[in-house]
Structure 1
């Protein structure tokens, strides 16, 4: 497991470190987290890490340098070191910073950081709420306590890390994030509507409720939805239900009325009518045909 490089305790007035006893190979895993008050002009680097390392300044000042840019940081600011980037950072001569840090790895790392507006070209988050940040870092470090259970430490610390990244996203604000144009915004809302229907098709989905949830009038959502998919929301939901019904009929021995209920139909007769209209087969005939094809294979 990667470890923080060098013994820097003698260069700090205060320092503590918590290490994940068993980091997983999951999409996001904390390696270690700590807190320290380095001496004036204490410097790290130039160096390169093979993990993400985030520092959040609680008090004092310092400078983070990467890609030829120097970023002055003070209380409420966080600077993010990306894997493979040559960096250095130094505490202020008169007001050396007091900071907390967390290191993590995983294939989801870069995308999660990008989602909250952090990239190698934009590695600073400003304006974080220090009481909230302190609580999140403290909880993350507590989850790595040696007295805890190793697998749970890995799971819990990753959860606290996600909350920490979420707080960075709120601090960055909409103005720091890429602003999608109207078309992209609409596309995202349509994707969200499709995802909602795909997850809730077994329930009595109300298009009115869906429209309110997405912040659109039903008429506007229906018009945008049909322009994107070629179907109205109601038609798309029906398509999802009937496709799921085909899967159940072909792969299970569930009675027809249970299949109907499982895909969101309260009335088995109405389900049969809609199914035959869409596929050309009654549900029972569709099952027989599907089974015969399987036997032939």
Structure 2
């Protein structure tokens, strides 16, 4: 079977920085294809299935993918998928990158070999930061005129984006077969069913049917949080959807997500998202450029 191969000449002009930022709003289903350039994908919202030779993987808000030249991929089963495509010529990342190649996150995410396509998952706050940076890169890269320094500024901001992703990216740790990830699935499902209230460690231990020390250790290994902290984070994520999808006051959202009062809710929100609920609403309701 033959697949479409997208050439560099479709997107890049000669004697210019070989880079282009495209906002796909929305992205559409796309069969398996490859390109002669690198592609960095940042999913802004929605869900979909990312296709690659030999398999598929779910993607959604905060997913970041890096596809190398010659690797086939595509999209299917899309639901309001919005994403940025950052197209990079084959030589763009081979410039003076100094110690960048020594970063573990850069090697693991940007220097993969074979058909593997790594996925980095951003938190809501990290995604907000990345979107601001992408807007700046897109605007700078589209500046017309000569001798304005736009190409150099674009490249500088691109390196900032690459470093930011490399610092965030950590491959999921390999867990012992004695404790497969699936053992935490019931407790995570229980948490998702109770995003409107506080859960105690005692409740979680009973549902998980394991000791509190084991539950804490395995949750931190997989998520980086304790079970209670992880549930708070999921409630904050639920609050984010309420902030954007419903016309509710912060007091109503605080109550709907089980926080004792709006001030406590705001403190927890800032702790997890790096900004206040009001700031978050402004960031995500501002029209995208």
TM-score (ref. length: structure 1):
0.45
State which structure, 1 or 2, has the greater radius of gyration over its C-alpha atoms.
Answer: 1
Task: State the TM-score, normalized to the length of structure 2.
Answer: 0.46
